[in-house]
Amino acid sequence: MSQQRPSHAYHWKLGDSGPAVAEIRFKLSLLGLLPETPPARQGRRIPSAEALFDTAVDAAVRHFQQQRGLTTDGIVGPETYRHLNEARWRLGDRVLSYTPSGMMVGDDVAHLQQRLLDMGFTPGRVDGIYGPATAQAVSEFQRNMGLHPDGTLGPTTYVVLERLSRTVVGGAPHVMRETEMLRHSGPALTGKVIVIDPGHGGTDAGIQAHEASEAAIVWDITSRLEGRLTALGVRTYLTRTADAAPDETERARFANQTGADLMISLHLEGHANPGIGGVASYYYGDESRGRWSHTGKQFAGLAQRELVARCGLGDLRSHARTWTLLRSTKMPCVRLELGYLTNAADAARLRSAEVRAQAVEAIAVAVQRVYLPPEDDAPTGVLHLPAAFA
C-alpha cells in the first residue's frame, strides 16, 4: 500500500538478523506460530545477535498478518510489530484501567469489549484500546453487579465477568447499534461533520509515476470534495495543509477532536507490475474475529461501487484492515485508494480534471447514500445530489 514507510530500524524482513529479530521470533513462538528456538548452528545455540529472519519467520509473519487484517507482505514494520505486542495479552493477564496519557491496548482489551458488548453494555468499538467508553462500560457492569464502579478490571471484577455467560445471542450487537445511530441521524447532509484526509503531503509526495504525484492529485481531489460537501451543508475539516505531512496518529488525533460523523482518507496506489490497476476501499475490521465497523464497511462498499461506475476504474473491492488510522478514529473511517499511478490507464484518468470531478461526485453520492433509508436509496451510478435536495 502507499502508506508511509518506516525507517530500516523499524522495518525487519527476510534476511535480516540481530536482537530485534530474536524478539520477533520469541513473540511468534509465544503465539504458537514458530518453534521456540531457531535451529542450532553446528551444535551450538545461536546468540540473539545472530538470530535470523529466515523463511520460517517470513511464513509465520505472513500468516500472522493475514490473521490480523494487515498487509500481508512478510515485513515487520510498526503496524505488524504493534500487533505482535498486543496479541500476547489474554483477558485476566493484567489489571486493565483507563489512563488518558497512555491508554492500554491489547487483545485482552478487545476480548473485554466484546464481552461487554454481548451483555448489552456500550464499550465503544471493539478496537482493543481501553478508552473512556470502555472504562464507562466497565463501571456500568460493576454497578449492575454490586461492585465498586471504578472502571478498572481488577481480579474481583474479572472473576464476576468470567462467571457470566453471554446474555445476547443471535446477530451482532454493534451492527444493531450502528444501524440505529444512522437511522437516528437522519438522511439530510446538512449539519453532518466529515473529516477529509489527503494522504502524504509536504516533502512526502507518496507514489510518483507518469509525471504525477500522489500527494498533488489527492490534494486536488480533496479540495474539490471539500467544496462539494460544503455546498451540500456538510461541515468539513482537513487533516493537513498543502505543505504538511502529519503521521497517521496525528491525523487520527485531529479527527477525534472534531466530533466528526465520518472520515475519508484519500490515497493512490503503486506497484512494480504496471499492469495492475483499479480502485480499492478499506474500513476498520477483523472479520475473522467478528470485529468491524458496520458504517465503515457500508460506506466503503458504496464509495467503491460509485467510483467504479462513474470513473471507469477497475474494481479491486472493499477490504477490512486494522491499520492505525482506521482503528484509532472514534468515527467510521474509510481509506479510498483511487487508482494505481503506476498504471498508464489509471494515471491518465487521474490526470484528467473530468475524471477527478467524477470521483468527487462518486464520493459525495456515497456519503449521501450511507444516510438514506433503503426505501429512498437509488441504484449505483444514478443518484444526482442536486436533485435529492430540490
Contact (Cβ atoms closer than 8 angstroms) between residue 262 and residue 285: no
| Residue 263 parent element (H or E) | strand 262-269
Question: Residue 154's closest CA among 172, 168, 173, 135?
Answer: 135
Q: Helical H runs in the chain?
A: 19-30, 55-68, 78-87, 107-118, 132-144, 155-163, 173-185, 214-231, 248-258, 294-311, 324-328, 344-351, 353-371, 385-388
Q: What is the pLDDT of residue 172?
A: 59
**Number of Cβ within a 10 Å radius of residue 30:** 13
CA 140 distance to own-chain centroid:
28
What b/e readout covers 338-349, taking b as 16+ CB neighbours within 10 angstroms?
bbbbbbebbbeb
Q: What is the pLDDT of residue 145?
A: 92
Residues in the chain: 390
Q: What is the pLDDT of residue 184?
A: 72
SS3 302: helix
**DSSP label at residue 341:** T
**DSSP label at residue 45:** P
Q: What is the pLDDT of residue 47?
A: 63
Partners of 213 in beta bridges: 208
Q: Which residues of the chain have pLDDT under 50?
A: 1-9, 41-43, 167-171, 387-390
**Nine-digit cell string for 152:** 478498572
Q: What is the pLDDT of residue 39?
A: 53
